Amino acid sequence: MAKILLLGSGELGKEFVIAAQRLGQYVIAVDSYKNAPAMQVAHESAVINMLDGKALDALVAKYNPDYIIPEIEAIRTERFYDYEKQGFTVIPSAKAANFTMNRKAIRDLAAKDLGLKTARYRYATSATSLKEAVAVVGMPCVVKPLMSSSGKGQSTIKTEADIDKAWTYSQEGSRGDVAEVIVEEFVNFNYEITLLTVTQREAPTLFCPPIGHRQERGDYQESWQPATMEAAHLQEAQDMAAKVTAALGGAGLWGVEFFVGDDGVYFSELSPRPHDTGMVTLANTQNYNEFELHLRAVLGLKISEITLERIGASAVILASETSSSPTFEGVEDIASEQKSDFRLFGKPTSRPYRRMGVVVTYDHLDASVAAVTKRAKELASKVKVVS
């Protein structure tokens, strides 16, 4: 039995803990608030500010874990290098955690060091330098905090009047103590995908069938698997994913995001852990869902292949109001639906647009992905989060 220290305990962490429990692993779930989703299914839990390096050090010393697994961005990740020197295993690696928790590091690695195709970009540290960056990149453009998740602090600049608002919003949505933002040109893409990529210690890197997704406010709303794309574009994305994950090192599952346009594939972002769009795999679209793949790679269990078993889709259940005791209406309406399932994350509070659950739908391999996705959206719309 391995002892796993899970840093971040949201809905993705919860599904990872469930996968770990099934294989008899011991998990300590950590977050900044009590009763976070993953804490509800872990063996132990702890509440700390993970941006406090001393508190993080004390937690590692207390539990002496076999694996340290980050699940969110707001962590004092530079401490991970010291943990590796002390003999701890950081997943996927200290370098991966540091680079991918900061959009500047991962974008410069991809574009400058590896030569991957990306949107043009600049950085800004103030409203004034944001105006200068926009002048270089051009409008429309997208502004993102270097540290954020689920679209927080992200906005699109279309006119000069949007610049100051975008700067203010980026600072409100930034996680951690990093004020800098990245300014990206708006790529004229046809669609975007997530390519779940599994790196193994002593076995080849594997790729899941591509996942298509739609976003609003920078956060995913629906995802479907497989996404339809040209074989040449898929190969291009796989080559890019293999290069960037190899450069970062370590074993685990990565969510690598790409834009696909008429002129080819653009690298967008990367997460060194299960991805929110990958919740579609909870519909058993694959022989292993993304959380099981992550765990097996972490434990060094060889994964011989990843196979598509059926098509599937996911659609999020969002809150519309703030509540300290949210409940759900309409679950009964979808519970009896065929070829469908749902997850309620168990978050103790709600706020507008917070993900509170997900509906997954599926069908046989020859069925229509568009129809399965439409059904997931329709079912998710029947569930209301209320106070």
Name the residues annotated as catalytic. Answer: 149, 151, 257, 269, 276-277, 355
Buried b (16+ CB within 10 A) or exposed e, 8-21: bbbbbbbbbbbbbe
Q: If you search the block for the tokens 């790679």, which residue do you land on?
A: 297
Distance CA 90, CA 309 (A): 32
Distance CA 43, CA 27 (A): 6
Note if the bond before 37 is cis, omega within 30 degrees. no
Distance CA 250, CA 93 (A): 5
Task: Note whether 103 and 154 are within 8 A (CB).
Answer: no
319 φ, ψ (degrees, to nearest 5) = -80, 155
Nearest to 241 by CA among 196, 297, 307, 278: 196
Give SS3 for 12: helix
Give SS3 for 83: helix
Diameter over CA atoms, the chain: 57
Task: Note whether 30 and 48 are within 8 A (CB).
Answer: yes
Give SS3 for 105: helix
Distance CA 371, CA 362 (A): 10
Give SS3 for 373: helix
Q: If you search the block for the tokens 């997850």, which residue do you land on?
A: 343
